[in-house]
Amino acid sequence: MYIGIISAMKEEIQALLNELQIEKKVIRGMRTYYQGILFDRKVILVFSRWGKVASATTATQLLNEFEIDEILFTGVAGAIHPDIYIGDIIIGSELYQHDMNGSPLVKTFEIPLLGKSAFRTSIEKRNALLKATETFLLEKYKFLTKKQLADFDIKNPKMHVGDIASGDQFISSSKQSQAILIGLPSVICVEMEGAAVAQVCYEYKVPFSIIRTISDNANHNAHIDFPKFAKDIASIYALGILKNYLG
């Protein structure tokens, strides 16, 4: 059995790809699934591209093509909680689709036919990720230099556990953030893929986990080199955390 690891951009898992002992590459639907050994564990790495459709398609192919016993999503996200900063790490608890609205046929945010508004991550896997992340934060300078962090004004990164909202929009203003928080007040960050993959995993009865690195504050206009942040920070975070998680 394999652990599936997905990100939306290749830059977000580049550090993991560099460490992966690749045994096979499988190309399906314009995506490359890298099969191999990472920290002595059998894994499949793939980047899904942006958005809910792209990520759900990737997750479904991953589950149908390979013997997968868990899926983990990693990448960047925008904070919409005032006490979360660039460089902080989010371990997802429940995943919502903030742009799902089937009312009046079903409640706002509810997924038609499933009767669910949120998909909960695996508690067992989440607790293991918490320990792995705590260790990484204590040992972050084994993976990152002070300059790498300073380049993005990251001073004292922290870990948070909370709910995540996904939607096919790039959230970059207070107006957008507030609109999400009115309906989903427990959400602490936003992105474009997690809840879609969580839904696929729920329907296939496969454990799902998600780690997000905060790249910007979605309450304000974001001005950041996302590919550079993903490659130089988020990708390294994922490497350090997963080394502890898989080891």
Catalytic residue among 11, 94, 110, 216: 216
Q: Which letter does DSSP use for residue 193 in this model?
A: S
Beta-carbon neighbour count of residue 202 at 10 Å?
Answer: 17
Distance of CA 26 to the CA centre of its chain: 22
Q: What are phi and psi of 218, to 5 degrees?
A: -70, 0
Beta-carbon neighbour count of residue 191 at 10 Å?
Answer: 27
C-alpha span between 50 and 74 (Å, rounded): 13
225 has catalytic annotation: no
Residue 159 structure tokens: 């870990």
Instruction: Specify the pairing of strand 2-7 against strand 21-28.
Output: unpaired
Closest CA to 99 of 24, 166, 31: 166
Contact (CB, 8 A) for 53 and 200: no
Q: Is 89 helix (H, G, I), strand (E, B) or coil?
A: strand
Catalytic residue among 12, 88, 110, 193: 12
12 has catalytic annotation: yes
Contact (CB, 8 A) for 75 and 9: yes
Q: Annotated active-site positions, please? A: 12, 216
